[in-house]
Amino acid sequence: MDYIATYNTDIGIRKNTNQDSLAIRVIQSPAGKVSFGIVCDGMGGLEKGEVASKEVIMAFCKWFDETFVSDLVNNRFSVTSLREQWDDIIQVQNKRLGNYGAANNLMLGTTVSAILMYNDEYYIVHVGDSRVYEMAKNVRQLTNDQTFVAREIAMGRMTEEQAKTDPRRSVLLQCVGASPVVEPDFIKGHLKKDAVYLLCSDGFRHQISDEEMMDKLGPEAAATEEDLQYGCVYLTELVKNRHETDNISVAVIRTM
């Protein structure tokens, strides 16, 4: 499997800082190419959300550049060890950010949505309400939002239309740094060829439809890295024109 990848992040029309962070890696390994993408949406008092998101991004990038690459070279990769390593990163960062917040009288935290694409499989770790999508013949959301409104919809106490305008739509059930206990979702699946895997903060998706994402970033619309970049920027500007007030971040990886 081969990959092309790009991203776009924007402060948006209202906030003073961009509290989103993201990263993408595409490397050659003994088993073929490997891709990794991560998006974190930070939140916190005194505009410290960017601290939380950046710290978690750096921890995952360090894991990828050192631990994961070493495991590949030495043929030690396993799904069990991957899950343990990712959970360890999240628990350590949750404690570190929690201690930092307590010491500075702050409440800060971040969502995490990351995908590893290796050996024709994808592996996702997820906390919060950033999302991972698969776009092939249609758009499929691979992660479940860990939010108050998502729980209410699942329990049949709220409709999806009601959730779109509910003032509690961004209330998280857990996030890294501000929750006493964090239980990440781990998701595994088979990669599709000629598909686009999209990671985004919630600011990217509030004002656009699945059809609009597919139209600009689906595999038929985005055959090259330049196409992907154009689609990311186009949709970001569309979201801003529709008066989204949050930071806006999107990362895309296309399989080939």
The tens digit of pLDDT for each residue in 203-224 reads: 999 899 999 999 999 999 999 9
Torsion angles phi and psi, residue 48, rounded to 5: -100, 5
CA distance 198 to 255: 11
Query: Residue 202's closest CA among 50, 57, 42, 91?
Result: 42
Q: How confident is the model at residue 170 (pLDDT cuts 50, 70, 90)?
A: confident
Q: Tokens 């999107």, residue?
A: 250
The tens digit of pLDDT for each residue in 55-108 reads: 999 999 999 999 999 999 999 999 999 999 999 999 999 999 999 999 988 889
Comparing 40 with 160, the larger pLDDT belongs to 40
Q: How confident is the model at residue 3 (pLDDT cuts 50, 70, 90)?
A: very high
**Residue 167: predicted pLDDT:** 78
Residue 38 predicted with pLDDT over 90: yes
User: Which residues of 51-209 form beta strands (DSSP E)?
Assistant: 108-110, 112-118, 121-127, 131-135, 139-141, 185-190, 196-200
Residue 148 predicted with pLDDT over 70: yes
DSSP codes joined into one string, 189-220: EEPPTT-EEEEE-HHHHTTS-HHHHHHHHSTT
Using a 10 angstrom Cβ sphere, with 0-12 exposed, 13-18 middle and 19 or more buried, the burial of residue 215 is middle
> Can you give the pTM of this predicted structure?
0.95
Count of all residues that appear for the chain in the document: 256
Q: Which amino acid is at 41?
A: D
Q: Give the other-Cβ count within 10 Å of 140's Cβ.
A: 14
Contacts of 35 (CB under 8 A, 6+ apart): 3, 5, 24, 25, 26, 115, 116, 117, 118, 253
The tens digit of pLDDT for each residue in 228-250 reads: 999 999 999 999 999 999 999 99
Q: How confident is the model at residue 45 (pLDDT cuts 50, 70, 90)?
A: low
Quote the crossing angle between the two packed helices 49-62 and 79-103, to the nearest 10°.
150
8 Å CB contact between 64 and 36 = yes
Residue 47 predicted with pLDDT over 70: no
Q: How confident is the model at residue 160 (pLDDT cuts 50, 70, 90)?
A: confident
8 Å CB contact between 64 and 162 = no
Q: Which architecture characterizes domain 3-142+175-255 according to CATH?
A: 4-Layer Sandwich (3.60)
